[in-house]
């Protein structure tokens, strides 16, 4: 238990951030938001277990059908001087308006934390009703180090196939069962319950086709027209962009755009698709994982690590030349090359440095990935003067 809690409390972990904010005298409303089955509820249980000095009222909104539930729990927390934590709050009708009403009328401003996996519904409620009243805490898919802490025999190559969702690790030695678990408990649940029941999608079949096309494009730059060309149903570029936005808000993919000093060109560029958990790149093609494809999966894992630490992560491309990732840190441009098994043009970095001669270069390999993942900011800052 101690080892697990220590792992949860690493720098900038959800648990550490939550503890810090709840120790403040008058924190804002805290939202703990992230993918399904990555330990958000476990984070709260760890908080309750280890911080017995905090008096916590922890309830689930699963099955709740009326907003008065929030009123009742809010009143109880205020009277008993407890921290109010509600799991799956987005399942309550008119939850955001009810939270706003209680927050604005409560002169004592109780400490409260709300959890949810359904990012679409939560973000809509937050943006519509709770502007200026909240802070967000992000939970992420499990990385390699955290996965290894749970499953000590996890090596990087195995993580690149099975990694991201800790609940699935029980089935690693039974690939078919693992594959079925990913399909039913993760992919179909997210697509069917978290997206299609909440967003306007006129063609669910086209939407699912797009998911599988994108999941086969780890760390690849793909024009919207080429994505359309692979679909068996009719669509258009605006629909594909909309679908990618939905996948991003549901914590499946992160599109990153071409590095440019022109913001409009960035937005209009073809996206590079970063899968936020490597398992989503592999579960549907377990019998077809060649070395070059897994090299792209590794590159995607590096990209997923970068987007946790930087708001803006880009790639650079010109003709046949491509630099895997570009970030800007303390005013310094950092060009990042991922050394994997896929073939690249050796002169791409030279081409980039001619355009941006003050840029620094950084190489990520399987050998130094663990150090990079443990503290990406420190890893990059080691390059800087």
Verify that 298 and 170 share a domain, yes or no: yes
In the prediction, which pLDDT does 198 show? 83
Verify that 35 and 159 share a domain, yes or no: no
Round the average pLDDT of the chain to a whole number and report it: 90
**206 with 231: CB under 8 angstroms?**
yes
Residue 74: domain span: 2-138
pLDDT in tens, 321-353: 999 999 999 899 999 999 976 666 668 999 999
Verify that 372 and 250 share a domain, yes or no: yes
Verify that 67 and 117 share a domain, yes or no: yes
Phi, psi of 132 (to 5 degrees): 80, 0
| pLDDT band at 268; cut points 50, 70, 90 | confident
Verify that 363 and 253 share a domain, yes or no: yes
Q: What is the CATH number of the domain that holds 76?
A: 3.40.50.300
* Whole-angstrom distance, CA of residue 192 vs CA of residue 36: 13
Verify that 158 and 88 share a domain, yes or no: no
Strand bridging mode 272-275 / 134-138: unpaired
pLDDT in tens, 54-70: 899 999 998 898 999 99
Verify that 312 and 376 share a domain, yes or no: yes
Verify that 103 and 120 share a domain, yes or no: yes
| Boundary residue ending a domain (121, 138, 155) | 138
* Whole-number Cα distances in Å, 315 to 259, 269, 325, 352: 6, 10, 4, 11
- With tokens 């939202």, the residue in question is 31
Verify that 51 and 32 share a domain, yes or no: yes
Reduce the DSSP state of residue 133 to 3 states and report it. coil
Tell me, yes or no, if the pTM score tops 0.85. Answer: yes
When divided into structural domains, the chain yields a total of: 2
pLDDT in tens, 193-227: 889 988 899 999 999 999 999 999 999 999 999 89
| Boundary residue ending a domain (119, 138, 157) | 138
Verify that 130 and 150 share a domain, yes or no: no
Verify that 65 and 103 share a domain, yes or no: yes
| Boundary residue ending a domain (138, 164, 199) | 138
Verify that 156 and 16 share a domain, yes or no: no
């Amino acid at each position: 238990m101690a080892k697990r809690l220590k792992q949860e409390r690493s720098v900038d972990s959800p648990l550490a951030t939550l503890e810090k904010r709840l120790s403040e005298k008058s924190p804002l409303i805290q939202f703990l938001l992230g993918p399904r089955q990555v330990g958000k509820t476990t984070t709260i249980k760890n908080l309750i277990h280890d911080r017995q000095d905090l008096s916590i009222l922890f309830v689930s909104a699963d099955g709740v059908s009326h907003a008065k539930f929030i009123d009742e729990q809010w009143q109880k927390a205020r009277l008993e001087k407890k921290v109010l934590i509600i799991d799956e709050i987005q399942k309550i009708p008119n939850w955001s308006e009810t939270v706003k009403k209680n927050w604005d009328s409560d002169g004592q401003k109780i400490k409260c934390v709300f959890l949810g996996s359904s990012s679409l519904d939560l973000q809509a409620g937050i943006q519509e009703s709770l502007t200026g009243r909240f802070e967000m805490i992000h939970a992420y898919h499990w990385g390699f180090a955290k996965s290894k802490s749970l499953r000590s025999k996890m090596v990087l190559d195995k993580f690149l196939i099975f990694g991201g969702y800790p609940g699935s690790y029980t089935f690693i030695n039974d690939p078919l069962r693992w594959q079925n678990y990913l399909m039913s408990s993760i992919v179909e649940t997210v697509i069917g319950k978290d997206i299609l029941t909440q967003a306007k999608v006129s063609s669910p079949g086209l939407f699912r086709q797009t998911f599988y096309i994108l999941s086969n494009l780890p760390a690849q730059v793909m024009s919207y027209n080429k994505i359309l060309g692979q679909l068996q149903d009719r669509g258009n570029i605006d629909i594909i962009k909309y679908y990618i936005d939905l996948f991003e808000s549901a914590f499946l993919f992160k599109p990153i755009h071409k590095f440019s000093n022109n913001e409009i060109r960035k937005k209009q560029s073809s996206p590079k698709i970063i899968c936020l958990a490597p398992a989503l790149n592999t579960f549907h093609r377990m019998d077809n994982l060649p070395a070059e494809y897994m090299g792209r999966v590794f590159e995607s894992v590096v990209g997923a690590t970068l987007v946790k630490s930087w708001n803006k992560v880009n790639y650079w491309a010109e003709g046949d030349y491509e630099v895997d990732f570009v970030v800007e840190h303390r005013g310094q441009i950092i060009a990042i090359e991922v050394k994997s098994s896929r073939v690249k043009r050796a002169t791409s970095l030279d081409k980039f440095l001619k355009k941006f001669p003050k840029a620094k270069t950084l190489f990520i390999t399987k050998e130094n990935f663990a150090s990079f993942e443990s503290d990406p900011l420190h890893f990059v800052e080691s390059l800087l003067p």
